[in-house]
Amino acid sequence: MKKHLLSLLLALTFTAPILAQSYFEDGLSADFHRGRRQALRAQMPANSVAVIFTNPQKNRSNDVDFIYHPNTDFYYLTGLREPNAVLVVFSETRDFGAFSADELLYVQNRDPRAEMWNGKRLGVEGAKEKLGFEQVFLNEAFGKSPALDLGKFDKILSFDLGKDIEESSANLPMAAMLGQFKTESGYTAGISATTQQLYELVRATPLENSANVAQIIGRSRRFYPEVENDSLLIGFAEADSPEKRQQIKAQIPDSKLNIIALEEILNSLREVKSAEEIALLSKAAQISAIGQVEVMKAAKEGMSEREIQGIHEFIYKRYGAENVGYPSIVGGGNNGCILHYIENDLKNVNERLLLMDLGAEWRGYTADVTRSIPVSGKFNPEEKAIYELVLRSQEAGIQLCKAGTEFSEIGRVTRQIIDEGLVELGIIQAGARHSYFPHGTSHHLGLDVHDRGGYGPLKEGVVLTVEPGIYIPEGSDCDPKWWGIAVRIEDDILVSANGPVNLSADAPRTVAAIEAMMEQSSPLENWTLPEVK
Ligand code: GLY
Ligand code: MN
Ligand code: MN
């Protein structure tokens, strides 16, 4: 009995997920989210419904869950940051007898005990009052009251569902809503955005071109297990005559459920940022740049990668940022060559170059800023040569961030400068293929670090990164004097009517500016802590 009581007490101490607050008082306005739902509605096909689930709570271990983060499409459209919720948007206003509505929101219940442990919930009334929805219901009513009757719609738009709904009790309401939705919408087990795209390709392609489609499926099956497990698609890929392909084509199910269209609509909506969003992104970028500045002052031999990560993240918290937008990357020397290095466990950064890629998340919007600095305070000649080449490439990329530039042009120009520079430095032969710049130059930035958006011509209001890099791991096929040098320079650029605006410009970027900043003193210099055995 005693043992039982003890474990109960321990459970009381540690149990329960840690919920972030369920909406931001100083984030996007209810009007913003309402306007985004209207914009979604305007792009939906006639007589259609969009059903958008938020993320489930994810378990970390035993009875501790990860800090909750909502699905960013759901958040963009609602402002709600609680799990166990779903948004329903109709293309036209629908009459439910007692009321008519063009959108419904289903939320988790108020629960004094759960709220005592995990924080406040909005509940039905809170969602009406704070988020500005008119028709809000408890999640247990989803699909039933008011009856959704999904069969009455010509199209049901949703996302690729349910892969990460864990079997934890925290997600039971989520699992129940998903089950209800799958039953009513004719959601086929195992369907994914890839299988649906391939089904549509098969349906839309005339018989004479069907061999090309068979080839595409053949390539996809190597990367997507759900394609490998789809007997119709595999049958189509392996059929040895157009007639056999035609027979299989006739069996491809025609479904009202569309899990591609919503992706395309949200890509187009989220690509261009409003003034409200730009203000939040700008704040995230400024805070992240100040983190880089403070680390430039404080960094010295003997510090660990983790300590440096901690200084950045302390600055974020000091300003009140709620989170980091992605796991922080702090890589000393050769570790900088690992693109998404997040162990950050080198005990002494020595006098090497230090690559630091971090971003504060401010009211849902994340920055993504990288600086590469010499821990000694001075670049050596090889480090300087590589650094200035990357900087020249980045400058050219930033100058291209104007409305009308093709997205791919930024990658082409920045890569060409790096290729030519590597030849001039004797690191590669002219025309040689190499892997010293193995990633893309730019991506959209917003609620996600790799945000939704198109990859055609840039538009005013787009925010994107420009982040060329050169990474020369130990043992590379070049003079060893270059080994272990890793440089990425990454800034967050707004495409404005007046050209590119660098939102993270407060972090020094030139060799001279970085070296000058590193000479400045840091308040951390006089801060000693007791030794811990
Ligand atoms: N921090 C990830 C990236 O730069 O894309
Ligand atoms: Mn990036
Ligand atoms: Mn980055």
Distance from C-alpha of 80 to C-alpha of 492, rounded to nearest angstrom: 26
Task: Report the mean per-residue pLDDT for the chain.
Answer: 92
The dihedral built from the CA positions of residue 7, 8, 12 and 16, taken in this order, carries a sign that is positive
Which residue has the least CA distance to atom 4 on ligand 1? Answer: 368
Residues 345 and 456 occupy one common structural domain? yes
The DSSP code sequence of 479-531 is: -GGGTTEEEE-BEEEEEETTEEEETTTTS--SHHHHHHHHHS--GGGG-----
User: Of 132, 166, 185, at which residue does a domain stop?
Assistant: 185
- For residue 230 and ligand 1, the question of a CB distance below 6 A is answered with no
Residues 113 and 219 occupy one common structural domain? no
The answer to whether residue 322 is domain-embedded is yes
**Does 502 or 118 have the greater pLDDT score?**
502
Distance 112 CA to ligand 1 centre (A): 40
The pLDDT of residue 480 is 98
Residues 103 and 226 occupy one common structural domain? no
Distance from C-alpha of 4 to C-alpha of 1, rounded to nearest angstrom: 5
* Nearest bound ligand to the CA of residue 341: 1
The pLDDT of residue 259 is 83
CA atoms in the 13 A half-sphere facing the CB of 91: 14
Distance 348 CA to ligand 1 centre (A): 24
The pLDDT of residue 363 is 98
Residue 477: pLDDT above 60? yes
- For residue 368 and ligand 1, the question of a CB distance below 6 A is answered with yes
Residues 430 and 510 occupy one common structural domain? yes
Nearest to 27 by CA among 267, 361, 452, 496: 361
Number of domains present in the structure of the chain: 3
Residue 95: pLDDT above 70? yes
Distance from C-alpha of 208 to C-alpha of 278, rounded to nearest angstrom: 49
- Is the Cβ–Cβ distance between 495 and 461 less than 8 Å? yes
The answer to whether residue 5 is domain-embedded is no
The answer to whether residue 2 is domain-embedded is no
The pLDDT of residue 20 is 43
Q: Strand 353-358 vs strand 463-466: parallel, antiparallel, or unpaired?
A: unpaired
The pLDDT of residue 190 is 65
Which residue has the least CA distance to atom 3 on ligand 1? Answer: 368
Distance from C-alpha of 365 to C-alpha of 492, rounded to nearest angstrom: 12
CB atoms near residue 428 (< 10 Å): 18
- Is the Cβ–Cβ distance between 443 and 464 less than 8 Å? yes
Enumerate residues with CB within 5 Å of ligand 2 (an ion): 368, 465
The pLDDT of residue 510 is 98
3-class SS of residue 129:
helix
User: Of 185, 206, 232, at which residue does a domain stop?
Assistant: 185
* Nearest bound ligand to the CA of residue 340: 1
CB atoms near residue 321 (< 10 Å): 24
How far from each other are the two terminal CA atoms of the chain, in whole angstroms? 37
Token digits of residue 380: 């050596």
Residues 30 and 121 occupy one common structural domain? yes
Residue 329 alpha carbon, nearest atom of ligand 1: 1
Instruction: Provide, rounded to the nearest whole percent, the portion of the chain with pLDDT above 70.
Output: 94
Kindly compute the dihedral angle of the four CA atoms of residues 282, 287, 288, 293, in this order, to the nearest 10 degrees. Answer: 130
Pocket test for ligand 1, best of 330, 338, 357 (most atoms within 8 A of CB): 357
Least confident of 17-21, 126-130, 373-377, 431-435: 17-21
Pocket test for ligand 1, best of 449, 487, 493 (most atoms within 8 A of CB): 449
Residue indicated by tokens 């699905």 = 71
Give residue-wise pLDDT tens across range 146-182: 999 999 999 999 987 765 565 556 778 888 888 888 8
**Does 329 or 15 have the greater pLDDT score?**
329
Nearest to 379 by CA among 525, 477, 508: 508
The answer to whether residue 530 is domain-embedded is no
Residues in a beta bridge with 496: 499
Residues 157 and 287 occupy one common structural domain? no
The answer to whether residue 8 is domain-embedded is no
Residue 359 alpha carbon, nearest atom of ligand 1: 1
Q: What confidence category does residue 464 fall into, taking pLDDT thresholds of 50, 70 and 90?
A: very high
Residue indicated by tokens 């129940």 = 176
Instruction: Provide, rounded to the nearest whole percent, the portion of the chain with pLDDT above 90.
Output: 77
- Is the Cβ–Cβ distance between 439 and 339 less than 8 Å? yes
Token digits of residue 205: 């392609």
Least confident of 12-16, 79-83, 518-522: 12-16
Segment 422-430 mean pLDDT = 98
Segment 277-303 mean pLDDT = 98
Distance 285 CA to ligand 3 centre (A): 12
User: Of 128, 151, 185, at which residue does a domain stop?
Assistant: 185
- CATH at 172: 3.40.350.10
Which strand (E) or helix (H) includes residue 6?
helix 2-14
Pocket test for ligand 1, best of 338, 358, 368 (most atoms within 8 A of CB): 368
**Length of the chain counted residue by residue:** 533
What is the domain extent for residue 153?
A: 17-185
Nearest to 248 by CA among 221, 193, 192, 210: 210
- CATH at 293: 3.90.230.10
Distance 5 CA to ligand 1 centre (A): 47
Distance from C-alpha of 58 to C-alpha of 241, rounded to nearest angstrom: 47
**Does 401 or 58 have the greater pLDDT score?**
401
The answer to whether residue 91 is domain-embedded is yes
- For residue 277 and ligand 1, the question of a CB distance below 6 A is answered with no
Nearest to 360 by CA among 388, 392, 320: 320
Phi, psi of 330 (to 5 degrees): -130, 105
The pLDDT of residue 50 is 98
Residues 77 and 214 occupy one common structural domain? no
Q: Give the list of residues 6+ apart from residue 227 with CB closer than 8 angstroms, or none.
A: 194, 195, 198, 217, 220, 221, 233, 234
| Helix, strand, coil in percent for the chain, rounding step 5 | 45, 15, 40
- For residue 299 and ligand 1, the question of a CB distance below 6 A is answered with no
Which strand (E) or helix (H) includes residue 93?
strand 86-95
Least confident of 246-255, 352-361, 424-433, 444-453: 246-255
Nearest to 80 by CA among 66, 69, 67: 69
Residues 218 and 356 occupy one common structural domain? no
Pocket test for ligand 1, best of 326, 341, 448, 491 (most atoms within 8 A of CB): 326
Segment 300-321 mean pLDDT = 97
Residues in a beta bridge with 106: 86, 137
Nearest to 465 by CA among 489, 496, 437: 489
Distance 335 CA to ligand 3 centre (A): 15
Alpha carbon 324 to chain centroid, angstroms: 12
Residues 444 and 408 occupy one common structural domain? yes
The answer to whether residue 154 is domain-embedded is yes
Exposed e or buried b per residue across 456-472, where buried means at least 16 C-beta atoms within 10 angstroms of its C-beta: eebeebbbbbbbbbbbb
**Does 20 or 90 have the greater pLDDT score?**
90
Segment 307-326 mean pLDDT = 98
Segment 463-467 mean pLDDT = 99
The pLDDT of residue 196 is 81
Least confident of 165-169, 230-234, 486-490, 503-507: 165-169
The answer to whether residue 12 is domain-embedded is no
The pLDDT of residue 183 is 81
Residues 249 and 313 occupy one common structural domain? no
Residues 460 and 413 occupy one common structural domain? yes
Residues 392 and 288 occupy one common structural domain? yes
Distance 441 CA to ligand 2 centre (A): 8
Give residue-wise pLDDT tens across range 2-56: 344 444 444 444 444 444 468 999 999 999 999 999 999 999 999 999 999 999 8
Give residue-wise pLDDT tens across range 500-514: 999 999 999 999 999
Enumerate residues with CB within 5 Å of ligand 3 (an ion): 357, 368, 490
The pLDDT of residue 316 is 98
